[in-house]
Amino acid sequence: MRRLLARIKNLFSPDKQLSAQLEHLLGFKPKHLPYYRLALAHRSKHDDLARNNERLEFLGDAFLGAIVGEYLFKKYPTQDEGYLTEMRSRIVRRETLNNVANRMGLQKLVQYNTRDRGFERSHIFGNALEALVGAVYLDQGYTKTRTFVIKQFLHAYIDVALMASTDTNYKNQLLNWAQTNRHNLSFEVMEGKRDGSHRMFTVGIVLNESLLCEGTAFNKKDAGQVAARKALELIAQQ
């Protein structure tokens, strides 16, 4: 009876559960779980650098960019460097990664301070996806990492053809519109503020010396994109 109870307890242990969840998500059974626990630990949960995923995020970002770059190089043999660079940028940018991470269900596995509601609107899940790529590399090596990125990321969640035909760089769209129509347009960083423990950035769009609209996000680049999207919507209504 004791052996049976021990086997049942082991079957439902946190390690077994995490291993099963990761196997479903990754497409293979992980060997060394500590790598993956680290990848899923946000600094709001563990401020100690050795216990959060920031270093793994750095590693995963490097491999993700290289593998996506190779994939695009082979997929589009007649496209120039500028096209390939733009496509890679669209695929590995924070907005895309965060969207994919949420569709994967990664937000259910990431350990973070759930009392801070601001994290739900941040990019911590996309960052965790990068850290997960780093964990796969340490656990399985480059070949398995490449397979994971192509099959479980690109093929499963990225419509490269649709992305190629859709321009979601609102800032570039707005700048092109202003240049074509001979308007004076500029992006100005407004006074920052805090949302809980997070610093928020606001970027204003000044059109012909008048403030047209503002956009707010967790970094200046995203705030500029939010503002540009709002500006394009306002222009379309005129």
Give Cα 47 to chain centroid, integer Å: 21
Give Cα 100 to chain centroid, integer Å: 7
Count of Cβ atoms closer than 10 Å to residue 184 Cβ: 10
Active-site residue (options: 61, 120, 214, 222): 61
61 is catalytic: yes
Q: Are 192 and 205 in contact (CB under 8 A)?
A: no
* Distance, CA of 179 to CA of 153 (rounded, Å): 37
86 is catalytic: no
For 4, residues 6+ apart whose C-beta sits below 8 A from its C-beta are none
DSSP string, 19-38: HHHHHHHHSS--S-HHHHHH
Active-site residue (options: 70, 81, 120, 130): 130
Active site residues: 61, 130
